[in-house]
A and B are shown apart, each in its own frame.
Chain A
Amino acid sequence: MEKISIANDDSLLSYLDGTLEARESKRIEEQIQQSVELKRRLEELRAVHVFLQNKNVLLSPSRNFTQRVLGNLDSFKYPQTISPKNGMLLLGGIVVAIGITLSLISSGSFDSVSTPLSLNDLPIKKEWIKNSLPAFSINPKQVMKVIMILATGLAFVLLDRTILRPMFARRSKMQL
């Protein structure tokens, strides 16, 4: 039994779509006349073609569709998102800031700095305080570390929202 090639299938489909040039269309018609297999295949493809034509007709929305669109024009809210370009810039800035902070910490710039903070120095009336308040010593190195952790978290969120999510959304749309 004669096997129908993909090229023949493509020609038959283009013939059904009416996208072949007159000469090509005539050539395929002659081939169909000479081949039982091609004729049978054309009928199979035609059944699919007719089915899809019948099933994919235009549908009508409800009668008040246009009025509802015009009535709701002001309900639109622009999405509050960071554009990919701005997100990339912000992400770059955060990465640079983290890099600088890391190099400062590793070079020991914050090691010798310590800021004592006494609660007794706060502008509170003395008669309100019975006992003397404790004094704290703030370690800038620890503060910088906390800021760095927060900045790293922010960088990951930005990476997700402005680069990864749009990228995967585009990819899933391509697959669909």
Chain B
Amino acid sequence: MAVITTEEEYLIIDQILAGDRQGYAELVNKYKSYAFTIAFKILDNKPEAEEAAQDAFIKAFHYLKSFNRQAKFSTWLYRIVFNTAISYKRRSHHQFQSIENSIIQHPQETDNLEKDDKQVFVAQAMNKLNDADKLAIQLYYIKEFSLDEVAEMLSQNINTVKVRVHRARQRLADELKKILKEEALTL
């Protein structure tokens, strides 16, 4: 798929606002994977994440007039996706479970992980993090998301997010060290 520049994106938005609905397909195609991934990180349920991501795109289409072009379209869209997924989560009362946890539960998906014990131990350690820290590092590690974008999505200050991401990784490393030490003692 051809890369759409910001200027081209604004042009597409102008066309959509002028009534060209099909133009919206280009924006959906460009951002659907990001939207779906964000929703999945929050909901940990693929059908629900897909529904939430679709809802977010529909919402974004109807509120496109209010997009003031001061921030990037992607950042504006991701905030809508994030808020939609959060409201889905509240509605369904799903307990946040990391995908790392589900990887441990499904052996067929762990083949690569099992090759490296350390990775399995980090996956275990992930479950000890609180939801906020877990979500912050997961969003930070999604390809191309900067700290600014994560901060914007979570409605938090960039320094707060930076500290959160750093401290969460430190805690994971500490947990990993602890687990490795325990493993060594049991050998």
Give residues in A with beta carbon < 8 Å to B: 6, 9-10, 13, 41, 44-45, 47-62, 65-66, 68-70, 72-73, 75-76, 78, 170, 173-176
The CB with the most chain B CB atoms within 10 A, among A6, A9, A55, A62, is that of A55
Q: Is the CB of B132 within 8 A of A72?
A: no
Give residues in B with beta carbon < 8 Å to A: 21-22, 24-25, 28-29, 32-37, 40-41, 49-50, 53-54, 57-59, 61-62, 83, 86, 99-100, 103, 112, 118-119, 122-123, 131-132, 135, 137-138, 141-143, 154-156, 166, 169-170, 172-173, 176-177
A47/B119 contact (C-beta < 8 A), A9-B166, A59-B40, A170-B155 known: yes
What's the nearest-Cβ distance from chain B to residue A129, in Å? 57
Contacts of B166 in A (CB 8 A): 9-10, 13
Q: Is the CB of A61 within 8 A of B141?
A: no
Q: Is the CB of B58 within 8 A of A73?
A: yes
Main secondary structure of the interface of A (DSSP, over half): helix
Contacts of B22 in A (CB 8 A): 70
A70/B122 contact (C-beta < 8 A), A75-B58, A173-B86 known: no
Q: Is the CB of A78 within 8 A of B62?
A: yes
Main secondary structure of the interface of B (DSSP, over half): helix
Closest to B96 in A: A176
Partner of B119, one of A9, A10, A51: A51
Q: Is the CB of B58 within 8 A of A48?
A: no
Q: How far is the CA of A109 from the CA of B61 in the complex (A)?
A: 56
What's the nearest-Cβ distance from chain A to residue B139, in Å? 8
Q: Is the CB of A61 within 8 A of B36?
A: yes
A57/B143 contact (C-beta < 8 A), A10-B166, A76-B59 known: yes
Closest to A48 in B: B172
Q: How far is the CA of A103 from the CA of B71 in the complex (A)?
A: 51
Closest to A45 in B: B173
Q: How far is the CA of A59 from the CA of B177 in the complex (A)?
A: 30
Closest to A58 in B: B33
A176/B132 contact (C-beta < 8 A), A53-B141, A69-B54 known: yes
